[in-house]
Amino acid sequence: MKPPAHRPQAAVVISLLAVVMAFLVPGPASAATNLVTNAGFESGTLSGWSCPAGGVTTSAPHSGSYALSATPSSGDIAKCSQSIAVQPNTAYTLSAWVKGSNVYLGVDGGPSTWTTSSGWSQLTVPFTTGASSSVTIYVHSWYALPAYQVDDVVLDGPGGAPDTTPPSTPGGLAVGSPTSSSLKLTWSAASDANGIDHYDVVRGTGAAQSVGNVTSWTATGLSAATTYSFKVRACDPSGNCSPYGAAVSGTTSDGGTNPPVGSLPAHVLTGYWQNFNNGATVQKISDVPAAYDLIAVAFADADASKPGGITFTLDSAGLGGYTVAQFKADIAAKQAAGKKVILSVGGQNGTISVADPTAAANFASSALSVLREYGFDGIDIDLENGVNAQYMGQALRSLQSQFGSGLVITMAPQTIDMQSTSFEYFKLALAIKDILTIVNVQYYNSGSMNGCDGQVYSQGSVDFITAQACIMLQGGLRPDQVGLGLPASSSAAGSGYVAPSVVNNALDCLTKGTGCGNYKPSTPWPSLRGAMTWSTNWDASNGNQFATQVGGHVHALP
């Protein structure tokens, strides 16, 4: 999603007096503390690092004699990581010098940043720890890109004692809610002094699957009238895992059931509406075609005075004098026609962060106030700078408990965010699965990605869309919670636009098993929820092709 560009702030004039005083008044002595082991790779090895696709190089390091060099493959992003003991609820700064294409620096479960540079460039990621006494820092590139280099990695802040105590074993495992292809697992939360990072589920004698920090999960893709056994363990942020609890069995039914669809249609067309003018057709809410069942107003603003808080201001000037009173009336008219209008939080430049209990409480209270003021039906999470599954999950549950069970909750993660159930966006979706309405992944601006069949697909094709969508379906989301997000025109995104016919083929492939490319799911998901586009404004600029062609197709699905 792309919000409007903002005008740079005026340069700040530094007082000469302040400069003079800084030299005259002595301050406390301080020295940076680097907690990274083998930070400059001067051991000539990768000691201290987990880096399966990497090695050291002597070719033009940033400093010293060595640097890290790692090479992605078609199925691997060449991630290198290191777990470090830290102090809980403490501010740290992570930095590194990097060189290469799409080089990422970040903290597991926390913020990250990236750059592309042919020469050495420094990345910096400030963050505050949560309750854990350990963090894992990482660097990586992207699938099939050339080798990248890293040097002089620094984690600046106070050190902490390593955590070696595993969590308690989760108990109370129960298997129920059978359909012909799924079983729902529930268990009691484990305890750990530094919190639970995730739970692992094992089916039969298969491999462990991380399902996030949740106490319920649905195993999908099962055979009808078949008995399966499961066991669960808990793992903390330091990588310590409990023993597995006793295995429990459940049997699938011989006929499936669809979950209730509430006040939204069984199949939904979602469109983002731009609260700004960036060259697309300027619209009022009343101008949005009736084909759109769900309208996401983009975007909320961050409340600078309240961490995690949000506000909303209608861009009346940019929208040709659109008044707040008319905006509210148009929302009410759409609702009277059976549509839902929600507020989207985030976008390409969204800076809202919910990473601690205070921010979670601020988000919930401020969002409730904005939703009630304008009459919105719900909230959309489109934070392209990342989410914290634990605290955003807390915020959304708090909001839902105050707003009521009719709250619509949608998400619009980028493609990479839903590649694995261990990623924060996926963990968030699973953590709030019982109150989540739809996840509309943005299948654009993403390049090539691994599909659920282990193959790499390029964006802009039926295969890319279907092989990505099935990752969510196999990872635990219900089909009615999965939507396909595509641009409304070639102007709406940097890359990934496809003709409406390609979107319709992907919908048919996933719901009926027809219209597929090289990848065809082993079973169709008829209750797949629908499609989303950025944006209704760009769609209007393109003759409303998405609303007419994709919208008509969505509403004709079985």
Which residues belong to the active site?
384
Q: In what order do the strands lie in the sheet with 209-210?
A: 209-210, 198-203, 227-235, 248-251
Cα of first residue to Cα of last residue in the chain, in angstroms, is: 30
CA distance 263 to 406: 8
DSSP state of 12: P
β-pairing, 530-534 vs 482-487, is: parallel
3-state DSSP assignment of residue 246: coil
CA distance 260 to 265: 10
DSSP state of 90: -
β-pairing, 91-107 vs 148-156, is: antiparallel
DSSP state of 287: G
Element (H, E) at 374: helix 357-374
3-state DSSP assignment of residue 233: strand
Among all chains, which residue has been given the structure tokens 């023993």? 243
Q: Quick check: 217 and 200 in contact, CB under 8 A?
A: no
H helices present in 411-550, as ranges: 424-431, 462-475, 500-512, 536-541, 545
| 414 burial via Cβ count (<10 Å: 0-12, 13-18, 19+) | buried
3-state DSSP assignment of residue 84: strand
Q: Quick check: 170 and 242 in contact, CB under 8 A?
A: yes
CB neighbourhood size of 282 (10 A): 18
Element (H, E) at 400: helix 389-403
Element (H, E) at 411: strand 408-411
| 374 burial via Cβ count (<10 Å: 0-12, 13-18, 19+) | middle
From residue 228, how far is each of 216, 225, 251, 442 by CA, in Å? 16, 10, 6, 34
CA distance 19 to 519: 64
- Non-local CB neighbours of 297 within 8 Å, separated by 6+ positions: 272, 273, 275, 285, 312, 341, 342, 343, 344, 376
CA distance 300 to 311: 6
CB neighbourhood size of 461 (10 A): 19
Question: At 376, which amino acid appears?
Answer: F
